[in-house]
Amino acid sequence: MSQLHAVPLRARTLGALAGVSAVGVIAFFWPFVVAPTSIAADHATDAPWFFALLLPLVVAVLLAEVSGGGADAKGVAMLAVLAAVATAVRPLGAGVAGLEPMFVVLLLGGRALGPAFGFALGSLAMFTSALLTAGVGPWLPFQMMAAGWFAMAAGLLPQLRGRAEIAMLMAYGAVASLLYGFLMNLSFWPWALGQGSELSFVAGAPLAENLGRWVTFNIATSLGWDIPRAILTATLTLLAGPVLLRAVRRATRRAAFDVPVRFETVESVTSERA
């Protein structure tokens, strides 16, 4: 069986991904652990700081891959191509009814290139597509992190091939598309409704209570957007997944990411041929 990922996960890269993900978990879930006397500040004030921290961390993941020998300029070029494709297809859905075709590109790219490049692909594609669609705002760093996780986890799925792999990717794409919407709601829900609603976040309340309110809020408000995204992602994976996976894997094999580049002088090449 050929190598599942173009860029295997290495210890240095694993550490970089763990660090980035820890920052993301804190950024999304800190309201659940605030003290009762704390005042939940609007993410609009701290999102720029999160954004300023996130970009260097994404670059750190790429540097860990390059310096660890996992990828070179060819790998970065492949990443740029897939990010450009995801950026180009995002306006096709424009978020209408939750239909976002770019997620299938992130899913298949993360699957073919591996978790590290998958995370970088999701984050980079969300950033560049936001510039294209005028979608820059305090929500952008949270979109970048959630999309990065979406593509990264695709590269961590079990090593299957053929129809079994496509079925697995369809199921994962549907579930992860729903979870993406849940996470994005978490980026504003704790302070969006105030304190007078059954769906409101209650600072200092038991974790189980606030988690239940969060899930109820998602079901009541955004599930109508999340379900179409899940259905579209699964459908496009079924229709285009086999072809796109073969194309990306064929391109990465020809790029030979794992073959070290060696420079030789003309004299040495001539002596070897002699």
Which pLDDT score is estimated for 1? 38
Domain limits for position 173: 11-35+42-260
Residue 139 lies in a domain: yes
Residue 274 lies in a domain: no
Instruction: Give CA–CA dist 121/99, Å, rounded.
Output: 20
Residue 162 lies in a domain: yes
Residue 2 lies in a domain: no
Which pLDDT score is estimated for 171? 97
Which pLDDT score is estimated for 262? 54
pLDDT band, very low/low/confident/very high, at 267 (cuts 50, 70, 90): low
pTM of this structure: 0.82
Residue 267 lies in a domain: no
Straight-line distance from the first to the last Cα atom of the chain, in angstroms, rounded to the nearest whole number: 37
Instruction: Give CA–CA dist 37/199, Å, rounded.
Output: 20
Instruction: Give CA–CA dist 30/25, Å, rounded.
Output: 8
pLDDT at 272 over 70: no
Which among 5, 124, 147, 119 is positioned nearest to 61, based on CA atoms?
119
pLDDT at 30 over 60: yes
What would the mean pLDDT of 30-39 be, rounded to a whole number?
Answer: 68
What would the mean pLDDT of 259-270 be, rounded to a whole number?
Answer: 52
Which pLDDT score is estimated for 48? 64
Residue 108 lies in a domain: yes
Which pLDDT score is estimated for 139? 84
pLDDT at 263 over 60: no
Residue 272 lies in a domain: no
What one-character-per-residue DSSP string does 74-94 give?
Answer: HHHHHHHHHHHHHHHHHHHHT
Which range has the worst mean pLDDT, 54-58, 178-182, 221-225? 54-58
SS3 at position 94: coil
Question: How many structural domains is the chain composed of?
Answer: 1
pLDDT in tens, 136-160: 887 888 999 999 999 999 999 998 8
SS3 at position 259: coil
What would the mean pLDDT of 17-27 be, rounded to a whole number?
Answer: 86
pLDDT in tens, 213-243: 999 999 988 888 899 999 999 999 999 999 9
Which among 106, 139, 149 is positioned nearest to 125, based on CA atoms?
106
Residue ranges of the alpha helices (H) in 187-255?
189-192, 207-221, 223-255
Instruction: Give CA–CA dist 149/141, Å, rounded.
Output: 12
Residue 64 lies in a domain: yes
pLDDT at 54 over 70: yes
